[in-house]
Amino acid sequence: MKRVDGRRPNQLRPVEIHPHYVKQPAGSALIEMGDTRVLCAASIEEGVPRWMREQRVTGGWITAEYSMLPYATAPRKPREVTRGRVEGRTQEIQRLVGRALRSVTDIEKLGERTIWIDCDVLQADGGTRTASITGAYIAVMLAMNKLQGEGILKECPIKSAVAAISVGLLDGVPLLDLCYEEDAKAAVDMNVVMTDEGQFVEVQGTGEDVPFTQRQMTAMLKLAREGIAELMAIQKKVLR
């Protein structure tokens, strides 16, 4: 099957991760996956949410905010703050990014502090939520390295790497890393989040037009596993 950008069904879009992209946060990275670009930043705040104190939950917390800048898509999309409400899609993605990073973190070792992850989509062409997770891991690792370097943390609380990718079915063919045009036409759309130990953090899959079979799901998960392994190799190279 010939894809809109000429890639093979199992081929990622070109991936670039630029660490330390902005200086104010403890850690930051710009991730580019094809024409999708997301700026991820990790900021450290001493203290934890009030609900943790009230429920006497020990350790720290990781939470995320996600936004798509007005010019990231065409036509221009007004800022959510202008409309006076946060969309359900935005809330879903924020929670997904937070869950993904908490799943690989020992929050007890983090201490009573909060990591705020900001994921700002500068340009969108599909896969913004999965790119946010892959880039956020780099930003958080850089923030943890900084805390260790300053002697604030004795050891890194991050237990394993985490990355995410989209897969889908288009004309019956399983495809890896869908661009927007493919995503819009896909009969099945799936987002997969995994650790470097081969464990699943989250699988979000929907038959947009028709149901899909166990065999098709297995084929898509195999593609996702291979694609995430490639992303993790890039993450390791960046962090070295």
Domain coverage including residue 133: 15-239
SS3 sequence of 129-144: HHHHHHHHHHHHHHHH
Judge whether 46 lies within some domain: yes
Judge whether 139 lies within some domain: yes
Compute the distance between CA of residue 68 and CA of residue 226 in angstroms, rounded to an integer: 28
Residue 214 pLDDT grade (very low, low, confident, very high; cuts 50, 70, 90): very high
Judge whether 22 lies within some domain: yes
The helix/strand/coil state of 209 is coil
Owner of token pair 């020992």 = 106
Query: What pLDDT, in 10s, does the model give residues 163-173?
Result: 999 999 999 99
Q: What does the DSSP 8-state code read for residue 196?
A: T
Judge whether 233 lies within some domain: yes
Residue 33 pLDDT grade (very low, low, confident, very high; cuts 50, 70, 90): very high
The answer for 62, left when phi > 0, alpha when psi is -120 to 50, beta otherwise, is beta
Query: What pLDDT, in 10s, does the model give residues 11-21?
Result: 999 999 999 99
Query: What pLDDT, in 10s, does the model give residues 171-187?
Result: 999 999 999 999 999 99
**Domains held by the chain: number:** 1
The CATH number given to whatever domain includes residue 156 is 3.30.230.70
Centroid of chain to Cα 81: 23
Judge whether 3 lies within some domain: no
Residue 123 pLDDT grade (very low, low, confident, very high; cuts 50, 70, 90): very high
Judge whether 234 lies within some domain: yes
Closest-CA residue to 96 (of 85, 84, 88, 107): 88
Provide the pairing of β-strand 36-46 with 27-33. antiparallel
pTM exceeds 0.75: yes
Judge whether 1 lies within some domain: no
Judge whether 120 lies within some domain: yes
69-95 average pLDDT score:
90
- Sign of the Cα pseudo-torsion (238, 232, 199, 100, in order): positive
Compute the distance between CA of residue 188 and CA of residue 204 in angstroms, rounded to an integer: 11
